[in-house]
Chain A
Amino acid sequence: MTDTRIQSDPKPRGPFTTWLSMLWADKLAFFAALFLLVALLCAIFGPWLMGDLATKQNLRGRNAPPFDLARGWLMILGADALGRPLLPRIVVAAQNTLMVAGAAVLCSAVVGCGLGLIAGYSRKRAAQWIMRLGDVIMSFPSLLLAVIVLYMLEPSVANIVLVLAITRIPVYLRTTRAEVLEVRERMFVQAARVMGASDRRIIFRHILPVVLPTLLTIATLDFAFVMLAESSLSFLGIGIQPPEITWGLMVAQGREYLTTAWWLSFWPGLAIIGTTLSLNLLSNWMRIALDPAQRWRLEMRGRKND
């Protein structure tokens, strides 16, 4: 007799270990998550640890080339036009870069998702207005809006977040609405309604949990987009203003020294690519991991198919 029993895991695993092993199953996503964790730690602790180092000028080390260990490991990536070491500057700039993008994504996701739930669930006049509003925002060249608003209102962090958040609302609005339109017709929602659940309960207990994974995936992808947009604005000189720094601004500042010191623009740009690439990879992984129909791909990986 062959043993046909399914071999079960020796011990039940907690949700955290399960997620971690699913992450490990996709190596690229694992390293992406690791990179983002490092970037996040830089953003939180960087200014506190390296704030002084990043602003200390050293005129003898102006435009010092990278990979020169004679000046100490802080100078490993070289130094900028005022002799400030690039490595600590990139670490410190992580805070502004990630904070602006994070705040913008959070605002647009919350507002867009809220409006999308209303638009998808109510089907009244209000829904029509909300969708038209989304169309208007979509038809507006967003960079132009940003330029006009920032030129008019002084480019502060709050204004940049506001502009970026407004231009990204339609993405969440449309996705949420489309999902809600589909989910509200499903059996469990109908059942909840028949059992006399209030609208609020149906929306928050039955519809939102189904929509949330999709939104999370989109938000991850959008984080990368917003980061690139903020970098472009800073690059054009209407984003974050010196002495504050972001990666985009550092690239812009290095542009003047392009012919003599390429590293000034190169490293911060690499930090941007690393972060956006990681976000893209992680978003791909999330699309699979959060989809119950596809999750097996990650759970099976690495195990023999016998």
Chain B
Amino acid sequence: MTGFIGKRALASGISLIGLVILVFFLSRLTGDPTNLYLPLDASIEAREQFRQLHGFNDPLIVQFGRYVMDLAQGDFGESLQQARPAMEVVLQAFGWTLRLALITMTCVTVAAIVIGSLAAFKVGGIFDRIATFFSLVGASAPDFWLAIVAIVIFAVNLHWLPTSGTGTPWHWVLPVAVLFVRPFGLILQVVRGSMITTLSSAYVKTARAKGVRTRSIIFVHGLRNAMLPVITVIGDQAAAILNGAVVIETIFGFPGIGKLMIDSILLRDFSVVLASIMISAVAIFIMNLLIDIAYAMLDPRIRY
């Protein structure tokens, strides 16, 4: 197991290094942040001083060398926008996104598994058809459109829910509900497909013939064995939210990592961009590791 984790960490580490190098140079090519941060009428000396202070005058390769040296000492640079250490800014935003992802994915997983299993139990029945249709619609709906429709209905017309911020639990309802829809549709389809295959296998038929109760056939015999493909999709969807639900976070003014990433790219806050890429990469790595461990726990035949 440790050998497996080590190999994975090495592979991820190498691609992360490549990624950081690529983004470092690509983002520098988008232009000089000086004009964005100083007022239009700032004197040439002030501009020069700003560039000097943040080291934008040196050749790119020197800037990169300095960045790597700082990184080796655990310094991720400073956010131009907030004048705080970049890592602090990123971790704070990541905390918000992590909570958002956890809440959403918990709801999605429970709902999709219960409804998907019940749909698979009677294929072609009325419940199955309704569930399948709604999962397809859910998987097809663009999240930004759902967000807008939800805002119009629940915030503008009914005045039930607030549209942006994170102050009270009520603020979380709309973002979670909108983020819920697509993963729910996708995971429900996988649960249903996988359950249909499992429920037609010999040991389920045996259990049925022995007179085991329906509920325990579905949730004990069926579900555990149908979970492997489901876990992969859950992981993918969770990773997508962790990677920044950019659009949703932007619409609802949610201070998560997706919004931070896009803001810092637009404002050329390079250290924050790089720090948030590293944090997402680490999060995705841990996520994939957890999925592999879950695999091994569910299916004793899997060894690493």
Contact = CB atoms under 8 A, between A and B. Distances in A.
Interface of A: 135-136, 139-141, 143-144, 147-149, 151-152, 224, 228, 231-232, 235-236, 248, 251-252, 254-255, 258-259, 262, 265-266, 269, 272-273, 276-277, 279-281
* Interface of A, helix, strand, loop or mixed by DSSP: helix
Interface in B132-172: 136-137, 139-145, 148-149, 151-152, 156
Nearest to B156: A259
A276 B138 CA distance: 10
Interface centre among B137, B139, B143 (most CB of A within 10 A): B139
B19 interface: yes
Given A254-B148, A276-B141, 20 more contacts: A135-B11, A136-B18, A139-B16, A139-B281, A141-B244, A141-B277, A141-B280, A143-B246, A144-B277, A148-B23, A151-B30, A232-B144, A232-B246, A232-B247, A235-B247, A258-B148, A259-B156, A273-B141, A273-B145, A279-B140
Contacts of A254: 148
How many chain B residues sit at the interface, stated as a range, is 35 or more
B117 to A, nearest CB: 20
A273 B137 contact: yes
Contacts of A231: 142, 144
A115 to B, nearest CB: 18
Given A144-B244, A147-B262, A148-B30, A273 B142 contact: yes
Contact of A277 (B140, B148, B250): B140
B27 interface: yes
Contact of A269 (B148, B156, B243, B280): B148
Given A139-B281, A152-B30, A232-B142, A265 B148 contact: yes
12 contacts: A141-B243, A144-B244, A147-B261, A228-B142, A232-B143, A236-B246, A262-B149, A266-B149, A269-B142, A272-B142, A277-B137, A277-B140
Nearest to B139: A280
A269 B140 contact: no
Interface of B: 11-12, 15-16, 18-19, 23, 26-27, 29-30, 136-137, 139-145, 148-149, 151-152, 156, 243-244, 246-247, 250, 261-262, 265-266, 277, 280-281, 284
B30 A265 contact: no
B140 A276 contact: yes
Given A139-B284, A143-B246, A258-B156, A235 B140 contact: no
* Interface of B, helix, strand, loop or mixed by DSSP: helix
Nearest to A136: B15
Contacts of A266: 148-149
Contacts of A259: 152, 156
B140 to A, nearest CB: 4
B163 to A, nearest CB: 9
A235 B151 CA distance: 16
A255 B148 contact: yes
B150 to A, nearest CB: 11
Contacts of B142: 228, 231-232, 248, 251, 269, 272-273, 276
A148 B29 CA distance: 10
A258 B144 CA distance: 13
Nearest to A138: B15
Contacts of A224: 140
Nearest to A266: B149
Contact of B12 (A139, A151, A252, A262): A139
A281 B27 contact: no
B156 A235 contact: no
